[in-house]
Amino acid sequence: MPELPEVETVRLGLERHMSGHMVADVEIRRNDLRFPFPENFSSTIRDRVVERVERRAKYLLIRLQGGITWLCHLGMSGRWTLLGDEIESTPGRFANGAPVGSGDGPHDWVVIFLENGSRAVYSDHRRFGFMDCFPSAEQETHKLLKDIGPEPTPDHLTPSQLAEGLRGKRTPIKSALLDQRVVAGLGNIYVCEILHRACVSPRRKASSVAGKSGVSNRVERITAATHDVITEAIDAGGSTLQDFRGVGGEEALGYFVHNFLVYGREGQDCLRESCEGVVKRIVQSNRSTFFCSSCQR
């Protein structure tokens, strides 16, 4: 499933190839993905110039001329492929991803024809992704966007915001960090890594991490670890963003090199220097948590 850093890589790829170009035509090959396409979706986005591509949590927000936002969520398996004379690129594609969408594949549901002759193809074999469009001025009240917490990046999330989000919460810190109202867009893998880096036990109650007032040491550490883990992952994704074309070119795209310190490492030695613990796996809110009980307190 694409996590926030992967979505950010997709955003960069779309921004690079779509912004400044007009949507000349739209082809939609079914009525719904996870949800039905909004009424008049094609006619709303057609003939508008893409001004820029932004992101909020894991939502891609394609800003169109005339104050319209076209929202796209990749769900579990959504991907965009850009095709043109000079480009052939699937930004954010994983190592184990499906073949590049040609525009004629069985799961290529949306084809956007840009006025410069290139195409953007949205493929989604599991169809958990979805699209919407709405007046940009209504973003604050949009049902999917209105309650989302601060972005996990250094220019948004502050220790005091995090403390405020956690205070009074009786759930474990692991679950609290997955709550999109507390911090936007953190997935299971990254939360495990963040807590390990911050030396905080995933089982500790969120309210105890927050403390009674001000900003606790643990909140400081979790905030810093969040910034670092997300920034590193975004940088790793960004470094894979290359256009390629031709046979064999697919290999050249590269993929995310995730160097996880705890995720998926059950039974192996903790990688923190000076720690002699072993990584454990427990289940919290039906999700696997990997952590080291020796150095995470």
* Binding region for Zn ion (CB under 5 A): 270, 272, 275, 277, 292, 294-295
- Phi/psi of residue 154, each to 5°? -60, -30
Q: Of 225 and 292, which CB lies nearer to Zn ion in the complex structure?
A: 292
Instruction: For Zn ion, give the closer residue by CB, 138 or 276.
Output: 276
Q: How far is the CB of 175 from Zn ion (least distance, A)?
A: 21
Instruction: State the CB neighbour count (10 A cutoff) for residue 23.
Output: 23
Q: How far is the CB of 218 from Zn ion (least distance, A)?
A: 16
Q: How far is the CB of 191 from Zn ion (least distance, A)?
A: 17
Name the phi and psi angles at 39, rounded to 5: -60, 140
Report which of 283, 286, 68, 290 is spatially closest to residue 201, judged by C-alpha positions: 290
State the nearest-atom distance from the C-beta of 208 to Zn ion, in Å.
20
Say if residues 280 and 292 touch (Cβ distance below 8 Å).
Answer: yes
Q: Phi and psi at residue 196, in whole multiples of 5°?
A: -65, -45
DSSP character at residue 137? G
> Least distance from C-beta 279 to Zn ion, angstroms?
8
Integer Cα distance of 249 and 265 in angstroms: 32
Alpha-carbon distance of 185 to 128, in angstroms, equals: 16
31, amino acid identity: N
Q: What CA–CA distance (Å, rounded) separates 189 from 72?
A: 22
Identity of the residue, 169 or 196, whose beta carbon is nearer to Zn ion in the bound complex: 196
User: Closer CB to Zn ion, residue 127 or residue 272?
Assistant: 272
Please answer whether residues 164 and 37 qualify as being in contact, where contact means their C-beta atoms are separated by less than 8 angstroms.
no
**What residue type is 202 in one-letter code?**
P
Q: How far is the CB of 132 from Zn ion (least distance, A)?
A: 43
- Alpha-carbon distance of 180 to 203, in angstroms, equals 19
Q: Which residues are catalytic?
A: 2-3, 58, 287
- Torsion over CA of 211, 5, 97 and 249, rounded to 10 degrees? -160
